[in-house]
């Protein structure tokens, strides 16, 4: 029967090892699209992804493959993101699969996220097929990498396809392995409906569209369904497959992957991870949910224009539908007005949400410096958790403070061990141990304060190792620490949105770098503007922006009216991106300036 010819799989890989390129080749080889129809990378379809070259949003597609055994197979490929911040999305899509291709770069070998992804796949009991990619590279060392996978991960690589996704070499081997090694789904078609929501998004016309894996039973238009977590019921208006692109079908059966529309208006009613069942004939137990995700980094998100408050709220709600890791609540700032405190998995996640708010929702936003969650023990015995530095109690009330620590594993060629140690030391890291993977590569384990990781640790690591080191981390717990609140005063007024919590030993260095950055980005005013950094009432760094009138029209030497108009217009637009703090105008980029270390 049909189910025997279905294969549901994901591709997992360390970033840049060629996951998207392989996905494209699989689509091409199965004859879905002609080469000309293929955009560069059909699965990564958000602008943002293309620019950053990383996969963020899940994309799913169905391939029809005629195998060497003469049978036609339905291969559902569920794309997964490849960054450390997005492990939760990976586990989400893996839960909908029976198998995964593990793509490893034949020149780079096993890297930090290769391991992290393999562990996630093993947790879901998936059949893992190692695929050695980029064998066309002169620096490829496929045999060594195979041995590395066997030694480090313990996967048998005897039959691993050796491919070049870029040149389309041996792609057929991959397709044959999928058919032969990944088990077909086994759910009972006649049982009550049980389907897993592994992704969803809001469509202006059809309401919330959920991406599902049917585990048991079947689902079709007209059916009354129930969301097991919320108890809400809906009538199915459309079901379909990803061919790619949404193609309606009559029904989806156990083992199938597809989408469901059911005029779901409220994004909260169709949560990713929930189980859909038949309202009339419900299944007994929901499917196990996903690995719980907890935001680790917080920042304030404010509309640049006050009247956009509700639009920002609306946009955050929409983004939250398919991003369980995004949390937010209202907050107010003396400097920025009404906005939201948002929680993210990490810095990249934060940047991506910020950019999506600006691009997809056309919003102009201001964000404050990121913060982790601190624990504060007060002298009166009360324990507070704080994710906004402005909420810190008075120093006199604090008994001690604790900060989150992560266990970091850094994989690097041995040449850079010294550079990595130096970096970790400068970020208050504690060395744990170091293992050799082979003669040329090691994995180093450090405990690092998350507070140090969220600034530019990842960028610094990449630049100190010429891009060769890879990095992964996991929250370990909390640790007492000598922390202080660093405030920034502009023209003698404290700007709450700039306050950060830092280790006492780092305070001076950070203070200097922030006041210098602010001096660069804040334009001159008619009066001198002092910029100060202070701990309590003690100023530890200061710069002054000299008074000057910057007259843009002076450049035009009279004459050309249209040119003058253009300049005035430009200046007006520029103004919109300014924030009035007291009587000082601060450009939005100033709020980002406090993020970068050096």
20 annotated as a binding-site residue: yes
Q: What is the DSSP string of 19-52?
A: HHHHHHHHHHHTTSS-TTT--TTTT--SHHHHHH
- Give the Cα separation of 439 and 505 in Å (integer): 37
- Which two tokens mark 108? 């780079």
Residue, CB closest to ligand GTP = 82
Please, what is the minimum distance in Å from the beta carbon of residue 96 to ligand GTP?
Answer: 19
Largest CA distance in the chain: 82
Minimum distance from CB of 331 to ligand GTP (Å)?
Answer: 33
Determine whether the annotation assigns residue 14 to a binding site. no
Is 466 a known ligand-binding residue?
no
Pick 18 or 273: Cβ nearer ligand GTP: 18
Tell me the closest approach of the beta carbon of residue 170 to ligand GTP, in angstroms. 10
What are the structure tokens assigned to 291, written together? 């690995």
Choose between 42 and 594: whose C-beta lies nearer to ligand GTP: 42
**Alpha carbon distance 101, 120 (integer Å):** 13
CB of 114 to ligand GTP, least distance (A): 11
Of residues 128 and 196, the one with the C-beta less far from ligand GTP: 128
* Residue ranges in contact with ligand GTP by CB under 6 A: 13, 15-21, 53-55, 82, 133-134, 136-137, 164-166
E strand or H helix that includes residue 246: strand 246-249
Judge whether 16 is annotated as a binding position: yes
Backbone angles phi, psi at 315, to 5 degrees: -65, -45
Closest to 179 (Cα-Cα) out of 144, 234, 127, 225:
127
Residues whose CB is less than 8 angstroms from the CB of residue 545 and which lie 6 or more positions away in sequence, other chains included:
519, 522, 524, 525, 528, 529, 530, 531
Give the nearer residue to ligand GTP in terms of CB position, either 138 or 245: 138
* Smallest distance, ligand GTP to C-beta of residue 30, A: 17
Residue 137 or 398: which CB sits closer to ligand GTP? 137
Per DSSP, the residues of 272-331 read TT-EEEESSS--SSPPP-PPP----EEEEEEESSGGGHHHHHHHHHHHHHT-TT-EEEEE
Residue 513, annotated ligand binder?
no
Cβ distance to ligand GTP smaller for residue 88 or 340? 88
CB of 161 to ligand GTP, least distance (A): 12
CB 298 within 8 A of CB 347: no
Single out the residue of 179, 184, 9 nearest to residue 96, CA to CA: 9
Any binding-site annotation on 83? Answer: no
The reply, when asked if residue 388 is annotated as ligand binding, is no
134 is in an annotated binding site: yes
Smaller CB distance to ligand GTP: residue 19 or 213? 19
| Residue 471 near residue 407, CB atoms below 8 Å | no
Annotated binding residue at 21?
A: yes
Minimum separation from the CB atom of position 467 to ligand GTP (A): 12
Residues tagged in the binding site annotation for GTP: 16-21, 133-136
């Amino acid at each position: 029967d049909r189910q025997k010819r279905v294969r549901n799989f994901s591709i997992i890989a360390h970033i840049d090892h060629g996951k998207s390129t392989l996905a494209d080749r699989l689509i091409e080889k199965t004859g879905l699209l002609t080469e000309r129809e293929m955009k560069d990378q059909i699965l990564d379809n958000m602008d943002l992804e293309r620019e950053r070259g990383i996969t963020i949003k899940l994309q799913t597609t169905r391939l029809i493959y005629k195998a060497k055994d003469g049978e036609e197979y339905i291969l559902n490929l569920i794309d997964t993101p490849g960054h450390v911040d997005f492990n939760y999305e990976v586990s989400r899509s893996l839960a909908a699969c029976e198998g995964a291709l593990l793509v490893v770069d034949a020149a780079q070998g096993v890297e930090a996220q290769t391991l992290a992804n393999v562990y996630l796949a093993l947790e879901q009991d998936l059949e893992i097929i190692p695929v050695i990619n980029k064998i066309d590279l002169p620096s490829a060392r496929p045999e060594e990498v195979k041995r590395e996978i066997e030694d480090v991960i313990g996967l048998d690589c005897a039959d691993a396809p050796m491919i070049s996704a870029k040149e389309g070499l041996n792609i057929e081997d991959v397709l044959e392995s999928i058919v032969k090694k990944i088990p077909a789904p086994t759910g009972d078609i006649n049982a009550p409906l049980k389907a897993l929501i592994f992704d969803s998004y809001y469509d202006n016309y059809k309401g919330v569209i959920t991406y599902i894996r049917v585990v048991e039973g079947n689902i079709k238009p007209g059916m009354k369904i129930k969301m097991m977590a919320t108890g809400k019921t809906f009538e199915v208006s459309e079901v379909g497959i990803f061919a790619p692109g949404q193609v309606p079908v009559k029904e989806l059966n156990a083992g199938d992957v597809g989408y469901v529309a059911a005029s779901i208006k409220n994004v909260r009613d169709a949560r990713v991870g929930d189980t859909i069942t038949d309202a009339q004939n419900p299944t007994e137990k929901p499917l196990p949910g996903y690995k719980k995700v907890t935001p680790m980094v917080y920042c304030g998100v404010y509309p640049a224009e006050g009247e956009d408050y509700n639009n920002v709220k609306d946009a955050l709600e929409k983004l939250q539908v398919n991003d369980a890791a995004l949390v937010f609540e209202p907050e107010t700032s003396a400097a920025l007005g009404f906005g939201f405190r948002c929680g993210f998995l990490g810095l990249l996640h934060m940047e991506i949400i910020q950019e999506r708010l600006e691009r997809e929702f056309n919003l102009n936003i201001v964000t404050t410096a990121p913060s982790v969650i601190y624990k504060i023990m007060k002298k009166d015995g009360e324990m507070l958790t704080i994710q906004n530095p402005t909420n810190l109690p008075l120093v006199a009330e604090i008994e001690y403070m604790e900060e989150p620590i992560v266990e970091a594993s850094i994989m690097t060629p041995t040449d850079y061990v010294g550079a990595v140690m130096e970096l970790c030391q400068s970020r208050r890291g504690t060395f744990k141990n170091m293992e050799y993977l082979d003669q040329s590569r090691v994995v180093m384990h450090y405990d690092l304060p998350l507070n140090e990781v969220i600034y530019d640790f990842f960028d610094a690591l990449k630049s100190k190792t010429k891009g060769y080191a890879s990095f992964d981390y996991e929250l370990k717990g909390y640790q007492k620490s000598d922390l202080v609140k660093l405030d920034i005063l502009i023209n003698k007024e404290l700007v709450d949105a700039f306050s950060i919590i830092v280790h006492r030993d780092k305070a001076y260095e950070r203070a200097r770098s922030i006041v210098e950055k602010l001096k660069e980005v804040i334009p001159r005013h008619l009066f001198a503007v002092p910029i100060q950094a202070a701990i309590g009432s003690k100023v530890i760094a200061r710069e002054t922006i000299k008074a000057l009138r910057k007259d843009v029209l002076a450049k035009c030497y009279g004459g050309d009216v249209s040119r003058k108009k253009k300049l005035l217009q430009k200046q007006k637009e520029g103004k919109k991106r300014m924030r009035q703090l007291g009587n000082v105008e601060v450009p939005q980029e100033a709020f980002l300036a406090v993020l970068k270390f050096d």
